Structure 1
Amino acid sequence: MPEEDKPTDARARLLSHFSAAQGTTEHGQKWNELWQQNFLPWDKGFPSPALVDLLSSPPSSNSSKHPVLLPIRSAKDQKRRLKALVPGCGRGYDVLLLAAHGYDAYGLEISEKALEEAKKVEKEKGGDKIYSTKPGVERGTVTWLSGDFFHDGFLKDVEGEGKFDLIYDYTFLSALPPVMRPAWSKRFNELLAPEGRVICLEFPTYKPASTGGPPWALPPKVYLAHLPRPGEDLTYGEDGELLEEKLGPPSKSGLVRIAHFQPERTHEIGYNAEGKVTDWISVWAHP
C-alpha cells in the first residue's frame, strides 16, 4: 500500500484542516496556515525525479502531429528564453531545476511564508549538483511570485505577455477540491503560450476518490476529462468518482494530450508496495 494511502496522523490532520474549505480564497488561506505552522508533510526536499529525467532526456512522443514533448523557441524568436511556471511551487525545488535547464522559471505561491522558504532554498541549495546546468545551456532566471493562480494579479511581475511556454503541475491539482477543477483547466488553457506545453505529473493515481483529500485522488481520466474541456463543470458521483459516461465532446479550444507514459523514477510516495511506479506523466498542447 502506498504511504499516502495509509492512515497517519498527518493525513488525519490534513483532512480535518480542509474539511470546510471549498472556495479559492478560503482554500488558499488554509494552505498558508500550514506553512505558518511549519506543517509540511508533502515536502520531499528535492525536485521530482520524474521531472529531472524528463528535462534531461525527454522520451519521444508517438504522435506525428506533436512530436516534441518540451517547448522549443520559434525560428523568429531564438533570442528569447522560454518561460516556465510552477503554480503552488512550495519551496521551489522544481523551479530551480527548470532554471538550470535554461528556462526563465517562475514559482507562484499564495503563501508568503512558502515564498520565504523558497528563497532560503535558492540561497542555500541553489548551487547543489542537481541544479547544475549542462554544457551549452545558459541558466535561466528565477522569479518568485506572490498571488492567486486563478487571478491575474501576479502577471504584473512576469516578463512579456502573460503566457508561459511550459506549465508544470505536480501536487497542485491534488491540493484543490474537485469543485475547483473547472477553473483549474480553464486557467491552464489561458496561461499556456500557443506553442507551449503543460506537463502534469499525475498523482495520486491509486487511491479511491471516496477517501477525500488533500491530496485528492487523481487517476489519469480526471486530467483527460478536464483539460480538453476548459471551464466545464463535469459530473461526479456521490463517491467522488468522475462519471465518464456523462462527458460531452471536448471543446475545440481545449488542450490536447500529446503523450502519456509512466516515468522510470518518481518520489518514493509514488511507488506501490511491490516497488512499481504508480505515477503518470501527461503532456498537453493547444490544438
Structure 2
Amino acid sequence: MDASPQQPPLTAQLISHFINRSRSNSSSRWSVLWNSDKSHFLDREGPSPALIDWIESRLKTLKFSPDRRPVALVPGCGIGYDVVMLALHGFDVYGLEISDVAVGIAEANATAEFREPSDYNFGSPTAASLPIECRGSVKFIQGNFFETEWEKEIAIEDFKGFDLIYDYTFLCSLPPDLRKDWASRMCELISPTGVLACLEFPLYKNLKALGPPWGVKGVYWNTLAEGGDGIIHESSIEEDDGNLEGPFRRVDYFKPARSYECGKGTDMFSVWKLRDSRQKNGTENVTSNFVL
C-alpha cells in the first residue's frame, strides 16, 4: 500500500481500484486485491525501520506486567513483517487482516522467519542475539478492525487491552469518514497503560488528493488529541496543546532516522497514551507500566 511521488503508476492503479467506493465496501476492496494476487500493492518488503529503531531504543526501559509477555496488535498487518519483528523482540503479537488469503501469506512468512530470521528484523547486534526462549508468539486473525467478533481470538486470560498497537499504513488506507471510528476503536483496544505507536505517512500528500493512501498531515493530532473527525484542511492544521478533548495525549514525536524510502524525510513517528485511564475502565488513574 506504500505510495510516493516516485510511484505514480502504482498510486494511480490503487486509487482507481477504490474510487467512488463507499465506506461500507472499502474493506471488501482490500480483500479483492489479496484474492486477485495483487498483493504487490501491499508488500513493503520488510518491517518498518522506524519501528525497529524505536523498539530497540526502548528495550531497556519498557516495563510491562511481570506476569506475562507484552501483547501487541498490528491492524492491517499485510504480509506480517512488523508482526514477526515485534515477536522476535519479545512481544506476543496479533496481526489483523481483512482477507483469509492475506492471513495465509502472513502465516507462511512468519514460519519462514522464525526458522531463520532475516537481518532486516534487527537494527542492532544486541537485539539480534535475543535468546530463542525470549521470543514471543504470533497469531494472525482474519477480521474487520471496526467489528468485535475477531476479538474472541485473543487467547489471554483477563485481557484488558493491548500493551502496544502499531499503525503505519492502516489509517491512510481508510476513507476519511472512518477516521473518527478508527480513533474510537484504538481507544477501546488499547490497555489503560498501553501505547499507540504511529508512523505517520504520507505527510507529503495534499489532504484533498484522492487515496488510498490518503494524506494524513495533522490527522493523527486531530483525531487522537483534539477528538475531531479527522476531516481537515491544510489551513486548519494547528497543534495547540490547549483545550484538548481527545482520548489520547502525545508523549513522543520525532522524525525517524530510518524509514521506508517512500516516506523517508517526511515521515514522523508519534507515540500516544490514553489521556486518562478513567476514560477506559471507570477507575482512578493508574501508574503506567510502560515507561518512556
* Superposed CA offset, 1:157-177 (max 9, x none): 112325100000010001011
Displacement of 1:93:
0.4
CA gap of 1:182–1:122, structure 2 versus 1, over 3 A, is same
**In structure 2, what is the equivalent of residue 254 of structure 1?**
247
Within the alignment, does 1:142 sit opposite 2:138 as a pair? yes
- Taking the aligned partners of 1:136 and 1:35, their CA distance within structure 2 comes to 32
- Give the partner amino acid of 1:35: W
Any idea what SS the aligned residue of 1:79 has?
coil
- Give the partner amino acid of 2:223: H
- TM-score of the aligned structures, taking structure 2 as reference length: 0.82
* Superposed CA offset, 1:196-233 (max 9, x none): 100000111111122211001112x2111101245x43
Q: Which residue among 42, 51, 73 is the counterpart of 1:85?
A: 73
CA gap of 1:117–1:133, structure 2 versus 1, over 3 A, is farther
Within the alignment, does 1:233 sit opposite 2:229 as a pair? yes
- Give the partner amino acid of 2:152: K
- Taking the aligned partners of 2:35 and 2:129, their CA distance within structure 1 comes to 33
Written as runs of structure 1 = structure 2, the 5 A alignment for 1:261-280 is 261-271=254-264, 277-280=265-268
Contact kept, 8 Å, 2:92 with 2:138, in 1: the verdict is yes
CA gap of 1:26–1:235, structure 2 versus 1, over 3 A, is closer
Paired residues, number: 262
- Give the partner amino acid of 1:107: G
CA gap of 1:201–1:42, structure 2 versus 1, over 3 A, is same
Contact kept, 8 Å, 1:107 with 1:143, in 2: the verdict is yes
- Taking the aligned partners of 1:110 and 1:3, their CA distance within structure 2 comes to 20
**In structure 2, what is the equivalent of residue 223 of structure 1?**
220
Written as runs of structure 1 = structure 2, the 5 A alignment for 1:107-146 is 107-126=95-114, 127-130=116-119, 131=121, 132=128, 134-135=130-131, 138-146=134-142
- Taking the aligned partners of 1:283 and 1:141, their CA distance within structure 2 comes to 23
Contact kept, 8 Å, 1:100 with 1:133, in 2: the verdict is no
**In structure 2, what is the equivalent of residue 155 of structure 1?**
151
Contact kept, 8 Å, 2:250 with 2:270, in 1: the verdict is yes
Displacement of 1:7:
6.0
* Superposed CA offset, 1:75-104 (max 9, x none): xx4121110000000000000011111111
- Taking the aligned partners of 1:195 and 1:57, their CA distance within structure 2 comes to 19
Moved over 4 A (4+): none
Superposed CA RMSD in Å reads 2.6
Identity of aligned residues (%): 38
- TM-score of the aligned structures, taking structure 1 as reference length: 0.83
